[in-house]
Amino acid sequence: MSNYRKFNFDFTFVCIINDKDRSVDRIRGTKNLYKILGVAKSRTFRVLWMLEEIGECYEHIPSKPRSNEIKKLNKAGKVPVLLDGEEILTDSSAIISYLGNKHEKLSFPSGTIERARQDAMVFRLIDEVDMILWAAARHSFILPEEQRVNAIKPSLKWEFEKNIDRIMDEKESKFLMGEEFMLPDIILAHCGSWARSAKFPSENKRFNDYIKFCYERPAVKRLIKSTP
C-alpha cells in the first residue's frame, strides 16, 4: 500500500508517497514524478528537504543502503538515489545541485560569481564537515570491526569543532550565502543534526542557533512529520 500525503502551500502542489513494496523496475516506469530511494535517516534527508523546499512532487522509497533495490541502481550500494524519468543520479550534493539548477530555486544561476562561491561552499562543507562525520561513522559501525580505529574519534571531534568555529566566524548573514536560504544551508544544517546524533556536540552557540533556525522552516517540519 502506498501512503499519499498532499499539501498545498504557497500555491504549489506537492505530493509525497512512501512506498516500501514497489519494485525498482515498476518505479522506473512511472513518469512525471521524482523518485528518491534511501532511508530518511541518511543523506537522503537532504534530497527530501530540497524537494520540499522547491515544492516538487516526489515519491520516497525508504530503501536501505546496500539493499538489492539500491544495488540495481548504484553498484556501490549507497543512498540516496534519485530517479528522474529514466535517468539515475547519486550523491546527495550532486542531486540537490541538479534540482536547484533545473528548477532555478535555492541556487544561484550557473556561470555567475555567486554560483562559483556557492559551489565552493558546498565543496568546503563536504570536505570540512561531512567527511569528518562520515569518517567517525565508518569507524563506529560501517567498517569491519577489525578495521575500526576508535582512537581516531577525539581527533575528528577536535577538527570538526575547529572547522565549525571558522565557518561560523566567516558567516556574516542569516544564512551561509546571504539573507536567503540556499542549498548549502541544507547540507550544513543536516550535518549539524547528524553531529548531535553521532555525539559530536558543538559548543558553538551560533552554530546551534543556526541549526535550530533552519529546522524551524515549514518544509523541514513537514518532512519530519511525514517520514517514518
Neighbour count for residue 69 (Cβ, 10 Å)? 19
Q: Per-residue pLDDT for the chain (228 aa), expressed as one digit of tens each? A: 233 333 333 323 345 545 544 444 444 444 458 999 999 999 999 999 999 999 999 999 999 999 999 999 999 999 999 999 999 999 999 999 999 999 999 999 999 999 999 999 999 999 999 999 999 999 999 999 999 999 999 999 999 999 999 999 999 999 999 999 999 999 999 999 999 999 887 899 999 999 999 999 999 999 999 887
| Predicted local distance difference test score (pLDDT) of residue 16 | 52
Contact in structure between 150 and 139 (CB atoms under 8 Å)? yes
**Of the options 1.20.1050.10, 1.10.357.10, 1.10.630.10, 2.60.40.2130, the CATH number for the domain spanning 113-217:** 1.20.1050.10
| Predicted local distance difference test score (pLDDT) of residue 20 | 47
Cα–Cα nearest to 94, from 64, 60, 130, 70: 130
Q: CATH 1.20.1050.10 residue ranges in the chain?
A: 113-217
| Predicted local distance difference test score (pLDDT) of residue 201 | 78
Whats the size of the chain, residue-wise? 228
Rounded (5°) CA angle 43-44-50: 105
| Predicted local distance difference test score (pLDDT) of residue 32 | 59
CATH fold of 3-106: Glutaredoxin (3.40.30)
| Predicted local distance difference test score (pLDDT) of residue 207 | 98
d(CA 120, CA 153): 27
User: Which three cell numbers, joined as nine digits, stand for 144?
Assistant: 569491519
Rounded (5°) CA angle 18-24-30: 75
Alpha-carbon separation of residue 81 from 1, 40, 100, 152, 191 (angstroms): 22, 12, 16, 30, 19
Instruction: Please state whether the predicted TM-score (pTM) of the whole model is above 0.75.
Output: yes
Beta strands across the sheet bearing 58-61: 3-9, 12-18, 58-61, 34-37, 81-84, 87-90
Q: CATH 3.40.30.10 residue ranges in the chain?
A: 3-106
